[in-house]
């Protein structure tokens, strides 16, 4: 009986190790996309008046919506601008995610 119990112990240990590795792999695979995404700081403007910034924006198409939610002075009319390092230009977007000129 004692011999059987000792023989089963390595099997249980291997199962626990495999479960732990599976858990660790899952956690890492879920966390990596969050930290790998590039984020930008969005500057908020309404009628050419700078109101402030919203930091760590990952989806730039929501830039103006984030500004409108963050600053009450926007009253739904803010545009969100960010610097595109690939083209070395400033890009501004309206609430629908369309490119607009900074007024």
pLDDT tens track of the chain, all 103 residues? Answer: 566 655 666 667 676 676 665 555 554 454 444 443 588 999 999 988 999 999 989 888 899 999 999 999 999 999 999 988 888 889 999 988 899 877 5
Residues 45-54 as b/e (b if ≥16 CB within 10 A, e otherwise) read bbeeeebeeb
* Same domain, yes or no: 46 and 6: no
pTM of the model: 0.61
* Same domain, yes or no: 80 and 50: yes
* Same domain, yes or no: 46 and 91: yes
* Same domain, yes or no: 66 and 91: yes
- Residue 67 in tokens: 């500004």
Question: What is the C-alpha separation between 92 and 103, in angstroms, rounded?
Answer: 10
Looking at residue 34, what is its pLDDT? 44
Domain span at 1: 1-36
Considering its fold, how many domains does the chain have in total?
A: 2
């Amino acid at each position: 009986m004692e011999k059987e119990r000792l023989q089963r112990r390595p099997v249980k240990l291997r199962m626990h190790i495999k479960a732990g590795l599976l858990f660790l792999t899952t956690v890492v695979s879920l966390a990596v996309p969050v930290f790998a995404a590039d984020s930008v700081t969005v500057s908020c403007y309404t009628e050419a008046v700078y109101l402030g910034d919203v930091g760590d924006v990952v989806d730039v198409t929501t830039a103006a919506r984030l500004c409108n939610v963050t600053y009450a002075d926007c009253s739904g009319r803010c545009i969100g601008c960010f610097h595109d390092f690939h083209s070395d230009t400033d890009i501004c977007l309206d609430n629908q995610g369309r490119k607009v000129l900074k007024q």
